[in-house]
Amino acid sequence: MNKVWRVFAYEFKRNINRKGFLFATLGLPLIAFIIMFGNHLYQVSQSDEPDPLAELDFEGINKAAVVDLSGVFPTIPETLAEVLILYADEESARDALNADDVDVFYVIQADYLESGEVVLHLPNLALRLITSGPIEQLFYSTLAVDLDALTIRRLRNPMVLEEFNLEEDASESNTGTSEGVQFGIVYAFAIFFFIGLMMTNTYLMQSVIQERESRLIEILISTMHPTQLLTGKILAFGLLGLMQLLAWGISTALIIYTASQLSTYSSFISALSLDISWSIIPIMLIYFVLMYMTFAAIFGGIGAISGSAQEGQQYMSIMVMPIIFTTYAFPLIQANPNGALAVGLSMFPITSGVAMLMRSIISTVPVWQLALSMGIMVVAMMGAMWLSGRLFRVQTLLAGSFKLKDIPKLLFQDVVPHQAKESA
């Protein structure tokens, strides 16, 4: 046990100072905070003196002629005098257009107040000059001059439509969380879970491969049993992964809380109605530990039989694909969280962690399914530890790389009859 502790302490101290680990654990949440506050400060600076008229775009029009047949606009306001020029009739406005004195000219029809009809004349087929901005500016500057900015803004956009579907599935509406929010939350959980799981286990695999390549493994296994070495590494990287996951979870909660206190995001956070049961937290931690131990054993075994880091990455990609498939299958799981696909993925050891988290967030999972899934995970973890222990032996660690056909011999024979040859 003392040797296991020494391996644990060494690996923990060495890897907690990795730049990549520190950046992923602390740097990413810090960047998220900076982006959030930076955007808030920018939005506040832009909204100090709201000017809805400034939002109207002239689309590259430098000069525009206006012919008012309605009599509504007898003069051009000073604020628009540099852009709009009032002409008495269409002929004089067309002459100005032909002489390139103006870019376009507008003819405001006699029944403008009833119909709103305005005819735009262009020198050619210049689609970029087709805009209602100049006439909107003229309208607001003439007829809405006594209105405040917020009233003008509401005149331009009188309604913000929010849809409420009365036929929404009751099981989803009970959570108080919309479908889009569920989608985002599940993917955030899946990404955090996946990155935390894979990053530390990748470090574990690389650690074993590097020690094999540098021949340091020969010194280590001369002083301890290979299983003790594997156990110490798994415990160290498991604690690092758990710390990373907790750091991300706490940072996410702080970001959401801080955002709810800022005027830029408060209405958005309130509209999300983040009503998620805290019971998801212990479920997430349990599955993280079970899946980490399973993947750590598998990746340790991969490190034992891999002759190089590149070869190890190729083996690792086989284990990653099922988890990626589960994240892409979320719409199917969301549509029927208790269907055959959702239940099957939540029972299969490689995908059960992510799939069960998805189901737990969007619906109520039967207790017996949760217990069965965890039981299968425990059995899978013990099986993976046994398989890894069979691979993590002296003759394996001292040999070169292996072909797939050699692996059964490594698993079920106490002594490898010959050192495996290098893979072609």
Q: Does one domain contain both 11 and 79?
A: no
Q: Does one domain contain both 150 and 213?
A: no
84: enclosing H helix or E strand: strand 84-87
Supply the pTM of this predicted model.
0.57
Q: In which domain, by residue range, is 251 found?
A: 2-28+177-412
Strands (E), 71-133: 84-87, 104-108, 118-121
In a domain, 316, yes or no: yes
Alpha-carbon gap, residue 185 to 170, rounded angstroms = 19
Total domains present in the chain: 2
pLDDT tens across 271-314, in order?
555 555 666 778 878 887 888 888 888 887 777 777 666 777 77
Residue 71 belongs to domain with CATH number = 3.40.190
In a domain, 329, yes or no: yes
In a domain, 399, yes or no: yes
pLDDT tens across 310-355, in order?
777 777 777 778 878 887 887 888 788 888 999 999 999 888 888 8
Q: Does one domain contain both 383 and 243?
A: yes
Alpha-carbon gap, residue 393 to 402, rounded angstroms = 14
| pLDDT over 90 (residue 372) | yes
| pLDDT over 80 (residue 243) | yes
Per the CB < 8 A criterion, the answer to whether 376 and 347 are in contact is yes
Q: Does one domain contain both 262 and 397?
A: yes
In a domain, 323, yes or no: yes
Q: Does one domain contain both 249 and 391?
A: yes
For residue 214, the tally of other CB atoms under 10 A from its CB is 10
Residue finishing a domain among 156, 185, 211: 156
Q: Does one domain contain both 144 and 195?
A: no
In a domain, 301, yes or no: yes
Per the CB < 8 A criterion, the answer to whether 363 and 338 are in contact is yes
Cα–Cα–Cα angle for 341, 381, 416, rounded to 5 degrees: 120
In a domain, 167, yes or no: no
Q: Does one domain contain both 77 and 109?
A: yes
Mean pLDDT of 415-423: 40
In a domain, 348, yes or no: yes
Q: For all residues of the chain together, what is the average pLDDT?
A: 76
**What amino acid is encoded at 358 in this protein?**
M
Highest mean pLDDT among 40-49, 104-113, 161-170, 392-401: 104-113
Q: Does one domain contain both 236 and 351?
A: yes
